[in-house]
Amino acid sequence: MGIFVLIIVIGIAGYIVQARLQSVFAKYSKVRFPGGLTGAEVAEKMLRDNNIHNVRVTHVKGHLTDHFDPRNMTVNLSESVYSSDSVAAAAVAAHECGHAIQHARDYAPLRLRSQLVPVVTFSSKAAMITIIVGLLIMAATNNELVCWIGVGLIAMSALFSIVTLPVEYNASARALEWLESSRTMQGAQLAQAKEALSWAARTYLVAAVSAIASVLYYVFLILGRRR
């Protein structure tokens, strides 16, 4: 019963954090960036200041779909960030450039996360069917091996979420450090950018806790079937 309550609490927390992120982003999307730079211009300036010249800044469709892609060395900014001169756009653009700097500096957690991508892609597809087959085998033969293999596959997604935490928090820290040291943003606007990035980081924290709870759910499920 306890694990079910935990999952419900995490689900509610995730909804609250996501709603708050959307609210904060909408609020600071209306606050004009004092320097007048667009998200794209902020990104290009941050990359230049960090001597990164092999990364292109481009735009992608969607809302808050911003990301750095190391495969083609691009910082991809969403439509609401690329051409906007708001505080929120500057913060998001700087955060994504933080990932580009991590890649250029060979930041260990980012390298580990990249190495986990193909493993997690496979495990996320195979985990549920493995668990279901394992439970059927366990019901018929009391053999738990396949079930535990399924739990191991689910645990890979949890590991990925945990590794993602330092990657995202560090990217935000790099973004805020540059925004302040370059005098691109100061005072109230810097505090607003920090608030926006803090709520974005919390979505990853909730995702990590949720992934851990999923692993615990299946562990207790298997142990319960054993009894």
Asked if residue 187 lies in contact with residue 130, where contact means CB atoms within 8 angstroms, the answer is no
Q: Which of 140, 144, 132 is nearest to 226 (CA)?
A: 144
* Tokens linked to 215: 């692993």
Whole-number Å distance between alpha carbons of 211 and 158: 5
Q: Which two tokens stand for residue 207?
A: 């995702």
State the helix-helix crossing angle for 187-226 and 2-28, rounded to 10 degrees: 160
Q: What is the DSSP string of 101-117?
A: HHHHTT-HHHHHHHHHH
Q: Buried b / exposed e across 122-161, counting CB within 10 Å, b at 16+?
A: ebeeebeebbeebbeebeeeeebebbbebbebbbbbbbbb
Residue at token pair 């004092």: 34
Query: CA-CA distance, 70 to 191, in Å (whole number)?
Result: 29
Catalytic residues: 96
Three-state DSSP at 17 gives helix
What Rg value do the Cα atoms of the chain yield, rounded?
A: 21
